[in-house]
A and B are shown apart, each in its own frame.
Chain A
């Protein structure tokens, strides 16, 4: 009987809980002797609560599984982004892009497919908070990849298209799960095509794109180091497009203003880098130019370091 009160009162780690625990141990003992209703296993209340219990447990478990998958997506997406940063200016760009594409596909198959399976027949919005962080990081990676390859912004539809899976298809056969090319013989051998998708909410998409600008900024600064003085200007105008669009959105989500502030910092950094290249690019030897730009970068660093640590939550 004593155990009941532990469970009842003490939230692990909560000091308040532990303190009250003792206080009520006494009243608990009094109650034990007297009239604690022994809940009959056949009573309606018991049966009803047993049902609620299994329902709650099921939902919590599912949530936890999704959080775990989402975290894996975050980690893998981050790695992909680091990989993509290595591609700038190196001669093996094509090779790296291939590798990155492969990585992204692996994320889709090994992570998003289970997520899609979990979310089947569920209200996605109920579990959105579990998968949002991973999803945003993934969108950041995909859009970065996409920008490096095509020089354009990946659209929500394109992101969504890669996240539709045929649950009955074999994991070992990646071609059949790519919704873009469901080959004919696959659909005939497995005549039950069960499609499931990971819904990408427009909000997650846009927040992912906001993160993208941070990567673009990093790339712009790095590109000066590797001697590419054109790239910062291209990146700058692309970032400006995103920035301008974000300004018009207004205060729709809690995270949005925060991301907009970071975005603004990144843009300013790139703009001042462009400025330095433009004004002093011809006078300063290239290896020194990087130092000059890094110096201007440091002006904003106080704010930036703080915010850049945040996105992982």
Chain B
């Protein structure tokens, strides 16, 4: 303990520290804002799925929104370059929301294309980020799961709208999918945090989808061949 700094030195170095941190946060905020803007644009494109004609051209919509990802990738890479290694969680709050949003968008596109649940690896590869924390900029697991929960809400809406558009098979498949998602989430031991609260809302989405299935079934609108098909698809 030889080097004794004077209190003035100590506090002025702290002052430097907070000034630097505030500058850093300011820069991150700017980057995140552009990223949020791009994410919103993709989502706007995806919304056309809810239109009657959109449902018939799902693959076009997906292709169109996938084409928008290079911009997002670039913006995300800019952001990632800004964050020093091992300080991801220091600034995590700034992009928590947008990374949830991105996970949701990717999971949504993935579902519309293949009707399966996206994996973390796939999300990471679309965004060109890492999967595991140790390797660099990644998507936090909580954020990933939040994105999946948002997907469930969106799908329950899609189930309603696809019936309106005359697609009676889709709600069955959505019900199966959301049900699986629900069972998956029940495997998790969630703490009493925001994820848990969001998860508690999942049952309402599930309920809504099941009501749609019920309505369609009871009126005999359920496509006959779709029953077997849905079973086959869900398993893959």
* Nearest opposing residue in chain B for A241, CB measure: B7
Binds A, one of B55-63, B69-77, B150-158, B172-180: B172-180
* Nearest opposing residue in chain A for B120, CB measure: A48
Closest Cβ of chain B to A124, distance in Å, is: 7
Contact for B183 among A37, A123, A156, A242, CB less than 8 A = A37
Instruction: Check A35/B175 contact, CB under 8 A, given A44-B117, A46-B187, A245-B11.
Output: yes
| Across-interface contacts of B5 in A (CB, < 8 A) | 153, 155, 157
Tell me if A249 and B14 are in contact (CB < 8 A).
yes
Tell me if B234 and A242 are in contact (CB < 8 A).
no
| Across-interface contacts of B68 in A (CB, < 8 A) | none
Cβ proximity bits A140-166 to B, threshold 8 Å, 1 near / 0 not: 000000000010110111100000000
- Say what secondary structure dominates the interface of chain A: helix
* Nearest opposing residue in chain A for B118, CB measure: A48
Tell me if B4 and A43 are in contact (CB < 8 A).
no
Instruction: Check A123/B175 contact, CB under 8 A, given A46-B184, A52-B141.
Output: no
| Across-interface contacts of A252 in B (CB, < 8 A) | 18, 21-22
Binds A, one of B40-48, B85-93, B95-103, B159-167: B85-93
Tell me if A49 and B210 are in contact (CB < 8 A).
no
List residues of chain B with CB under 8 Å of any chain A CB. Answer: 1, 3-11, 13-15, 17-18, 21-22, 86-90, 92, 116-117, 119-120, 133-134, 141, 144-145, 175-176, 179-181, 183-192, 196, 200, 203, 207, 210, 213, 234-235
Tell me if B180 and A37 are in contact (CB < 8 A).
yes
Tell me if A53 and B8 are in contact (CB < 8 A).
no
A57 to B188: give the CA distance in the assembly, Å: 8
* Nearest opposing residue in chain B for A127, CB measure: B89
A185 to B117: give the CA distance in the assembly, Å: 57
30 contacts between A and B (CB under 8 A): A7-B186, A11-B192, A17-B200, A24-B203, A27-B207, A34-B210, A35-B175, A35-B213, A36-B179, A38-B183, A39-B183, A39-B184, A43-B180, A45-B180, A46-B183, A46-B187, A52-B144, A52-B187, A57-B189, A59-B141, A123-B86, A123-B89, A153-B7, A155-B5, A155-B9, A157-B3, A202-B17, A205-B14, A241-B7, A246-B11
Q: Which 7 A-B pairs have the closest CB atoms?
A: A245-B11, A49-B184, A125-B89, A126-B89, A125-B90, A39-B183, A37-B179
Tell me if B88 and A123 are in contact (CB < 8 A).
yes
